[in-house]
Amino acid sequence: MAAALAWLSRPTPSSAAVPVPYDWNATPPMDDRAKFVDWMVANRGEDPDFLGQRYDRFLQLIAHNDLWNDRNKRAYLMTPREEFVTAPNLSRAYQVHFLDIGFGVTITGPHSVARMTNTIDPQKGERVLEIGTGSGYQSAYLSNLTDQVFSIEIVKPLFERTGGVYEALIAKGYTEYSAIQRKNDDGYYGWPEHAPFDKIIVTCGIDHVPPPLLEQLKPDGVMVIPVGPPGAQHVLKVVKTQGADGKFSVARSDIYHGAIVNFVPFTKLQDGKISGTHSN
Ligand SMILES: C[S@@+](CC[C@H](N)C(=O)[O-])C[C@H]1O[C@@H](n2cnc3c(N)ncnc32)[C@H](O)[C@@H]1O
As a whole number, mean pLDDT of residues 167-190 equals 97
Q: Which residues pair with 37 in a beta bridge?
A: none
Confidence label for 3 from pLDDT (cuts 50, 70 and 90):
very low
DSSP codes joined into one string, 142-204: HTTT-S-EEEEES-HHHHHHHHHHHHHHHHHT-GGGGGEEEEES-GGG--GGG--EEEEEE-S
Q: What's the distance, CA 7 to chain centroid?
A: 24
Query: Residue 232: pLDDT band by 50, 70, 90 thresholds?
Result: confident
What is the number of other CB atoms lying within 10 angstroms of the CB of residue 74?
18
What pLDDT score was predicted for residue 138? 98
- Pocket perturbation via mutation, ligand 1, pick of 154, 160, 233, 273 by most ligand atoms within 8 A of CB: 154
CA of 59 relative to ligand 1 center, distance in Å: 27
Mean pLDDT of 49-64: 98
The whole-angstrom separation of Cα 221 and Cα 190 is: 15
- pLDDT tens per residue across span 70-117: 999 999 999 999 999 999 999 999 999 999 999 999 999 999 999 999
CA of 232 to the centre of ligand 1 (A): 17
Q: What is the pLDDT of residue 54?
A: 98
Q: Is the pLDDT of residue 35 over 50?
A: yes
> What pLDDT, on a 0 to 100 scale, did the predictor assign at position 12?
58
Distances (CA, A) of 243 to 65, 199, 220: 32, 19, 10
Asked if residues 238 and 250 have their Cβ atoms less than 8 Å apart, the reply is: yes
**Torsion angle defined by CA atoms of residues 275, 234, 106 and 30, in that order, rounded to the nearest 10 degrees:** -150
Dihedral sign (CA 207, 213, 214, 218)? negative
Q: Is 226 in the pocket of ligand 1 (CB under 6 A)?
A: no
Instruction: Give the residue extent of every domain in the chain.
Output: 2-277
Q: For residue 101, report the distance from its CA to the centre of ligand 1, in Å.
A: 11
Residues linked to residue 269 through DSSP beta bridges, in sequence order: 274
> Is the predicted pLDDT of residue 10 greater than 80, yes or no?
no
Task: Find, among 158, 153, 157, 72, the residue nearest to 116 by Cα.
Answer: 72
- Indicate which atom in ligand 1 lies nearest the CA of residue 113: 8
Does the pLDDT of residue 6 top 60, yes or no?
no
User: With a 6 A CB cut-off, is 105 part of the ligand 1 pocket?
Assistant: yes
Instruction: Average the pLDDT over 202-227 and give the result.
Output: 98
Q: Which of 26, 29, 7 is nearest to 18 (CA)?
A: 26
pLDDT of residue 180: 98
The continuous run of DSSP H or E covering 273 comes out as strand 273-277
Please give the pLDDT value at position 1.
40
CA of 188, closest atom in ligand 1: 19
CA 238 to chain centre: 17
Q: Is the pLDDT of residue 7 over 60?
A: no
Distance CA(75)–CA(143), nearest Å, equals 8
Element holding 218 (H helix, E strand): strand 217-227
Specify the ligand 1 atom closest to the Cα of 269. 19
131 touches ligand 1 (CB under 6 Å): yes
| pLDDT category of residue 231 using cuts at 50, 70 and 90 | confident
Instruction: Give the integer Cα–Cα distance in Å for 191 and 183.
Output: 9
Report pLDDT digits (tens) over 249-272.
Answer: 999 999 999 999 999 999 999 999
Q: Which residues pair with 152 in a beta bridge?
A: 131, 183
Cα distances from 33 to residues 17, 36, 52, 110, 140, in angstroms, run 22, 5, 7, 18, 22
pLDDT attached to residue 186 = 98
Answer yes or no: is the C-beta of 112 below 6 A from any ligand 1 atom. Answer: no
Average pLDDT value over all residues in the chain:
94
DSSP string, 219-240: EEEEEEEEESSTT-BEEEEEEE
CA 50, 55, 57, 61 dihedral sign is: positive
Q: CA–CA distance from 207 to each of 146, 203, 255 (Å)?
A: 29, 13, 16
The predicted model scores a pTM of: 0.94
Is the CB–ligand 1 distance for residue 102 below 6 Å?
A: no
Fold for 2-277, please state it.
Answer: Rossmann fold (3.40.50)
Q: Which of 130, 133, 224 to mutate to test the pocket of ligand 1 (most atoms within 8 A of CB)?
A: 133
- Per-residue pLDDT at 13 exceeds 90: no
> Is pLDDT of 5 > 60?
no
State the distance from the centre of ligand 1 to the C-alpha of 107, rounded, in angstroms. 9
The Å distance, Cα 238 to ligand 1 centre, comes to 19
